[in-house]
Structure 1
Amino acid sequence: MQILDQDQTVHALPYSRLVPAVAQAARELSTGTIIAPERQVVTIDAASVLLSMPAIGSDISVTKLITVHANNAKHRLPAIQGEVVVFETATGRRLALLDGPTVTARRTAAMTLLGIETLARGQPASALLIGTGTQAVAHADALIDYFGVQRFWIAGRTLASAEALASALRQRHPGLTVQAMVAEALKQEVPETDVIIALTTSTTPVIPATISGDTLAIGVGAFKPNMAEFPPELLHARQIIVDDRDGAKHEAGDLIQANVDWTTVFGVGDVLSGKVPRPAAIPVFKTVGQAAWDLAAARVAIGV
């Protein structure tokens, strides 16, 4: 059995291979070829949960086990820890153990890339990232790697947090144009950009209600019913595409709170498989995560 640490898992999951693999998994989930029930959430304590996410494919299968301990900073440990167990479907033979947080970060960013590739007008040249955490870093790296994006706006709760990420990105990617701003300022003025990506755990909308018709807005961070990144006005004004419709109905707080008409909400796999036509106008894209995307990452990592 292969055991890949964090760095080895990163190198095993290049976006050039991961995005097509996630697209294939989305089609298979849409047609029922991949079986992936909703994730099980078990409370450990008031600030901690265990997440279990299985997915069964015809070739290989995975189970991702993640623990989230919100108070781990006082122990000098990461809040999110875990692993992805990969096994042969036909026999149960263990094939690999991958770093769970790395798989999550990269497959989540890959789904965003797929959403842009499928739903945007064209290849983006600029992006506004709302949020300054791990997913913001992963998404910036992914947009640079896959699309060659060279201009970013980083919106944080404070200017200091936005400046810190902007500085880190400039050091990682010399020549990058990055402007830091306070997220609150988006209520007055929104930069002209190709893509807006929210990567927060906010309980109030952070994506502006009014954006250009040429801008694709993507909500990544809100994954609980009490969270919301999209404003209701924007959700009711545009077609809504999600990564996983079943999961979104229980976890996408912004959609739930906006009382969207679920008969008009479709999964990106439905679009890719031809079940529904591609939206004529630019929609909004909401992701909540799915074990099928971990399965896609496992296929890439072990070369299936």
Structure 2
Amino acid sequence: MHIFNAAQTAHLLPYTRLVPAIAEAAQDYANGSIAAPERLVVPIEEAGVLLAMPAIAQDIGVTKLITVHGDNARHDLPAIQGEVIVFDSKTGRRHAMLDGPTVTARRTAAVTLLGIQLLAPAAPVSALLIGTGVQAAAHADALIEFFGVTRLFVASRSEHHAQAFCDALRLRHAQASAFPIGSADIAARCQEVDVVIALTTATVPVIPAQLPPATMAIGVGAFKPEMAELPAELLHARGVVVDHLAGARHEAGDLLRANIDWSKVRDLASVIRNGITDKSPVPVLKTVGHAAWDLAAARVATGA
């Protein structure tokens, strides 16, 4: 079995291959070719949780094990740790162990890229990111590498964090311009970008309710019923697309708190299969994650 660290795992998952692999996995899951039960969540004492996410296809299977310890900063350790085990479905032979947080970050960003590709009226050249964590960094890299986005605004409650994020981003991508902004400037900047993406654990919506019709709003960070990044007014004014419908029904706090009409919510597999007739205003995308996306990443990483 090959064991890959974070940098090696990232190298194995270029977005040009990962995005179509996510699209394929979405269709495979929809037609029953991928079996993936809801993730198992096991509390660890007071501040931790173990997440287990298996998925099986005819070619390969994966199991992602992730631990989340919110107070790990005091131990000088990352809050999220884990791995993805990839094995042959016919024999059980282990192919690889991938870095779990890296797989999660890159496949989540790839789902966002796929959603933009399917739903937006044109490829974006500008974006506003709300948040400065690992997912925000992955999304910034993904937007630049996949779409060639050249102008990014980065919002944070901490001016220092936003500035540091932009400085690091410019070092990785000299061709892109990155500008830190405060929370008070989000509404104004949303009027001049192609896409706004929230990557937070907010309990109060952080994306403005009023956006230009061609500006796409994407909620990524909120993953519990009590969390919300997307305002109810925006959700009721636009079509809503999710990555995984069953997961969104009990994890997408934005949609739950807005009392959304689930009969009108579509998933990415449906959009891939049937297309979308109206892109004005651009539908909202809400993602919650799924083990099938980890399997898609494993296919790319191992050449399955």
Does TM-score exceed 0.5, indicating one fold?
A: yes
Structure 2: runs of 5 or more not aligned: none
Match of 2:198 in 1: 198
Mapped contact 2:241–2:284 kept (Cα < 8 A): yes
Instruction: Give, in whole Å, the separation in 2 of the partners of 1:45 and 1:210.
Output: 42
Match of 2:152 in 1: 152
Aligned positions of 1:151-300 closer than 5 A = 151-187=151-187, 190-274=190-274, 277-281=276-280, 282-300=282-300
Structure 2 letter corresponding to 1:138:
A
Instruction: Give, in whole Å, the separation in 2 of the partners of 1:246 and 1:219.
Output: 17
Calculate the TM-score normalised by the size of structure 2: 0.97
SS, match of residue 273 in structure 1: helix
SS, match of residue 197 in structure 2: strand
> Which stretches of structure 1, 4 residues or longer, exceed 2 Å deviation after superposition?
184-191, 276-281
Q: Measure how far apart 1:292 and its partner are.
A: 0.2
Deviations 1:185-214 (A, max 9, x none): 324663411110100011110011000100
Q: Measure how far apart 1:160 and its partner are.
A: 1.7
Match of 1:65 in 2: 65
Match of 2:54 in 1: 54
Calculate the TM-score normalised by the size of structure 1: 0.97
Count of equivalent residues: 303
Q: 1:245 to 1:279 in 2, by over 3 A?
A: farther
Structure 1 letter corresponding to 2:242:
V
Structure 2 letter corresponding to 1:57:
A
Instruction: Give, in whole Å, the separation in 2 of the partners of 1:5 and 1:163.
Output: 28
SS, match of residue 179 in structure 1: strand
Instruction: Give, in whole Å, the separation in 2 of the partners of 1:240 and 1:49.
Output: 30
Q: Measure how far apart 1:277 and its partner are.
A: 4.1
Match of 1:132 in 2: 132
Q: 1:145 to 1:188 in 2, by over 3 A?
A: closer
Mapped contact 1:124–1:147 kept (Cα < 8 A): yes
**Percent of residue pairs identical:** 59
Q: Name whichever of 170-179 and 228-237 sits farther off.
A: 170-179
Q: Name whichever of 91-100 and 234-243 sits farther off.
A: 91-100
Instruction: Give, in whole Å, the separation in 1 of the partners of 2:258 and 2:215.
Output: 21
Mapped contact 1:271–1:278 kept (Cα < 8 A): no
Mapped contact 1:241–1:268 kept (Cα < 8 A): yes
SS, match of residue 63 in structure 2: strand
Q: 1:165 to 1:94 in 2, by over 3 A?
A: same
Q: 1:185 to 1:17 in 2, by over 3 A?
A: same
Mapped contact 1:238–1:283 kept (Cα < 8 A): yes
Structure 1: runs of 5 or more not aligned: none
Aligned positions of 1:16-95 closer than 5 A = 16-95=16-95
Instruction: Give, in whole Å, the separation in 2 of the partners of 1:137 and 1:90.
Output: 37
RMSD over aligned CA atoms reads: 1.2
Deviations 1:161-199 (A, max 9, x none): 111111111122113211111123324663411110100
Mapped contact 1:30–1:273 kept (Cα < 8 A): no
Instruction: Give, in whole Å, the separation in 2 of the partners of 1:216 and 1:29.
Output: 26
